[in-house]
Amino acid sequence: MSLSALTVRISRPYSRLASTYDAALGIQGFFRIRSGFEYLVRRYGVRFASAADVGCGTGIFARYLRCCWGVPVFAVDRSAEMLCRAKRALRDTDVHVFRQDVRCLHLPNPVDLVTANFDMVNHYSARQTYEPHSEAFPGI
Ligand SMILES: C[S@@+](CC[C@H](N)C(=O)[O-])C[C@H]1O[C@@H](n2cnc3c(N)ncnc32)[C@H](O)[C@@H]1O
């Protein structure tokens, strides 16, 4: 299966889930992700002055990064419907939202930190679909 066909197959279900995602999974998941993230930041002394949340879904974590860490943030997702929700959630922030496939990620500038939370890459099981990841973050 080609990369673009696979991407459509994966993004479609999320597009259908977008309107109920936060209530069903997103908010509950966010609290767990936040606590894991803060543990890792403390444990490894992670420091960052800019960030991108890829597979950002409805934008909750991107919002958290911007509002709680005060760094510039890019939010990237493949699903137009999820991004529509993200734009709404981020409308009062200066987070830049992009519709992209993370395997061909192209950010306007490099960032210190990239987060990919909650079932973002585990859909891609075939080895060849992972290979582009080696070149996915050339500027970071
Ligand atoms: C389970 S949701 C997680 C959303 C968000 N990270 C969270 O923690 O709630 C997975 C997200 O990854 C996105 N996604 C999956 N494959 C992607 C790809 N190749 N490029 C960009 N986004 C992708 C989906 O559209 C979906 O919004």
Of the pLDDT bands very low, low, confident and very high (cuts 50, 70, 90), residue 26 is confident
Model confidence at 131: pLDDT above 80? no
Is the beta carbon of 59 within 6 A of some atom in ligand 1?
Answer: no
Look up the CATH architecture of domain 3-135.
Answer: 3-Layer(aba) Sandwich (3.40)
Q: Which residue has the higher pLDDT, 102 or 72?
A: 72
Asked if residues 96 and 75 have their Cβ atoms less than 8 Å apart, the reply is yes
**Mean pLDDT, rounded, for 87-102:** 95
State which ligand 1 atom lies nearest to the alpha carbon of 21: 9
Q: Where are the domains of the chain?
A: 3-135
Model confidence at 125: pLDDT above 70? no
Burial class (CB in 10 A: 0-12, 13-18, 19+), 89: buried
Q: In the structure encoding, which two tokens stand for residue 75, read together?
A: 């939010």
Is the beta carbon of 14 within 6 A of some atom in ligand 1?
Answer: yes
Asked if residues 128 and 43 have their Cβ atoms less than 8 Å apart, the reply is no
pLDDT tens readout for residues 47-91: 999 999 999 999 999 999 999 999 999 999 999 999 999 999 999
| pLDDT at residue number 140 | 47
Out of 11, 120, 121, 129, mutate this one to test ligand 1's pocket (max ligand atoms within 8 Å of CB): namely 120
Centre a 10 Å sphere on the Cβ of residue 101 and count the other Cβ atoms it contains: 20
**Mean pLDDT, rounded, for 125-135:** 51
Angle between helical axes of 60-69 and 80-89 (0-180°, round to 10): 30
Q: Which residue has the higher pLDDT, 139 or 94?
A: 94
The C-alpha angle with vertex 130 and arms to 124 and 132, in degrees rounded to 5, equals 130
